[in-house]
A and B are shown apart, each in its own frame.
Chain A
Amino acid sequence: MRNPLSDKVVDIKPSGIRKFFDIVSEMDDVISLGVGEPDFDTPWHIRDEGIYSLEKGKTFYTSNSGLKELRMEICNYLKRRVNVEYDWAKEVIITVGGSEAIDIGLRAMINPGDEVLIPQPSYVSYEPCAILADATPVIIDLKAENEFRLTAKELEDAITDKTKLLILPFPNNPTGAIMERADLEAIAEVVIKHDLFVMSDEIYSELTYKDEHVSIASLPGMKERTILINGFSKAYAMTGWRLGYACGPQEIIQQMTKIHQFAIMCAPTTSQYAAVEALKNGDADVEEMRTSYNQRRRFLMESFRKMGLECFEPYGAFYVFPCIKEFGMTSDEFATRFLEEEKVAVVPGTAFGDSGEGFLRISYAYSLEKLRLAMDKMEQFIGRLREEKRN
């Protein structure tokens, strides 16, 4: 029989932490700090609106780009929150999660051999999606001393005459890093100078704990060269609803809509009705969840400080990214031993790129009780490691 598979797909490395998570799922009584999704339920009024839409029989496809009302609410929201104005009819597409927007955005923009710049550590989908879109991914290794922000210098150094697109994943999963206005202005200057485009993945935009999130699309000259990606999963605890969106120049959105229309048809209708409610009446819920995440974040930072564990203060998403280099182990070794000896699961930084070596991703989308338990165990564990090192 002939080989049934595509070489391109087969050649994509499976996620390096699959093995690790296989162990986690087989063990009992594991305290997992590994999951990257909110621990809150979707606020009831949002769920109720989804249920009501079903009761009313809203069970048809929506238009390919998504419900008109939802696209209009998204435009209101972006104007209100990040001060960028989009035309709901031409510059917005509703997707199946932010992840679909990443995929079709890349496919709509890339010609074979175009280089796509991917800062790492970052979410695991960018590189495979770029490869599937026939791009050449070029990794930019972010550094702890810059608090894992992307600097203009790092960007400049990675640019060649083949570079077309920069993926900008902030607030960042897994580091929790954010990019502030001044950081973005420096990046925008380089982007404009080299005539690049930006795919700005702002899925964690509502979860920042310093100043308000700034979108690079709001900077002068950037809206016309930015695809802004966001969604409902993180802000409104709606991961399972699978709903995101992309906004950008009409010509790009149009081509993305073409792929979306042939591959997906439209995003789930029930989710879209619920999302309208989220945007209209969900501000207080977001605020409440943000306050709670922030309290946990501070609690973890204080715990690390007491343990003497090095960690830059992250101001975004719901992750902390402590450094474990002092123990002379790889992230993978540390995480595996921590799991075996204390039954606490954290994700090795290397799952998000080579530059994550020496770090751990700890999610605080968990109750304080769980975090407290895990921190007690972590203190014991690193106490033991330090003891071992002395002997």
Chain B
Amino acid sequence: MREELLAIIEKNSRIDLQELAAMLGVAEIDVVNELAALEREGIICGYHTLVNWENTSIEKVTALIEVRVTPQRGEGFDSIAERIYKYSEVSSVYLISGGYDLMVILEGKSLRDVSNFVSDKLSTLDSVLSTATHFILKKYKDHGTIMDQQKEDEREVFIP
């Protein structure tokens, strides 16, 4: 049930427990226990909401920053990654194979906000060799969800 449960709540974490149990064909208490176990084991790490900020009046800027760094002896990339992810404006940090090392995703209020962060904080870290900042212009699809898509049932009535 674990994999199926995860697949369902990954798409809809607000789903009703009763309904979830019915869909999985198990008792509600089993779902509750399994969810608790998944949280305890660090498999479920949070329940977030996918917000399309573009449809609000609130300004937000998302940037994707490629960072090349010098790995530290004995620590690899972990300690430099930690120095970066501790900043609250950083929303994601990934270690990447290929032309650069870390991909940092940043959310700021404005372009200036982001560029300040990159020039004042990120670039000045000792082990950071270079950065390349890409601003996100439009989100078409995020976390498997197509933004701005209201899908109607277009099936026509036929007999039967």
Contact = CB atoms under 8 A, between A and B. Distances in A.
Contacts of B158: 35
Contacts of B153: 39, 366
Nearest to B25: A298
B58 interface: no
Contacts of B155: 35, 37, 39
Interface of A: 15, 17-18, 21, 24-25, 32, 34-37, 39, 124, 291, 295-296, 298-299, 301-303, 347, 351-352, 366, 368, 372
A347 to B, nearest CB: 6
Given A295-B23, A298-B24, A299-B19, A17 B159 contact: yes
Nearest to B153: A39
A351 B160 contact: yes
Interface string B1-31: 0001001100000000001011111000000
Given A291-B4, A295-B8, A24 B24 contact: no
Contacts of A347: 160
A15 B160 contact: yes
Contacts of A296: 23
B157 interface: yes
A36 B160 contact: yes
A351 B159 CA distance: 10
Contacts, number: 47
Contacts of A303: 22
Contacts of B21: 302
B157 A21 contact: yes
Contacts of A368: 19, 23
Contact of B160 (A124, A302, A372): A124
Given A34-B157, A39-B155, A299-B22, 20 more contacts: A15-B159, A15-B160, A18-B159, A21-B157, A21-B160, A24-B157, A35-B158, A36-B160, A37-B155, A124-B160, A291-B4, A291-B7, A295-B4, A295-B8, A295-B23, A295-B24, A298-B24, A298-B25, A299-B23, A302-B21
A303 B22 CA distance: 8
Max chain B C-beta neighbours (<10 A), residue from A15, A37, A299: A299
A25 B159 CA distance: 11
Interface residues of B, number: 15
A15 B153 CA distance: 24
A295 B7 CA distance: 12
A10 B158 CA distance: 20
Nearest to A305: B22
A359 B28 CA distance: 30
A17 B22 contact: no
B16 to A, nearest CB: 8
Nearest to A351: B160
Contacts of A36: 160
A299 B21 CA distance: 8
In the A-B complex, the 3 residue pairs with the closest CB atoms: A302-B22, A295-B23, A298-B25
A124 B160 CA distance: 8
A32 B157 contact: yes
Interface in B128-160: 153, 155, 157-160
B66 to A, nearest CB: 29
Contacts of B23: 295-296, 298-299, 368
B157 A35 contact: yes
12 contacts: A15-B159, A25-B157, A35-B155, A35-B157, A39-B155, A295-B4, A295-B8, A298-B25, A299-B19, A299-B22, A347-B160, A368-B23
Contacts of A35: 155, 157-158
Nearest to A347: B160
A276 to B, nearest CB: 25
A34 B156 CA distance: 11
Contacts of A21: 157, 159-160
A24 B155 CA distance: 13
Nearest to A370: B153
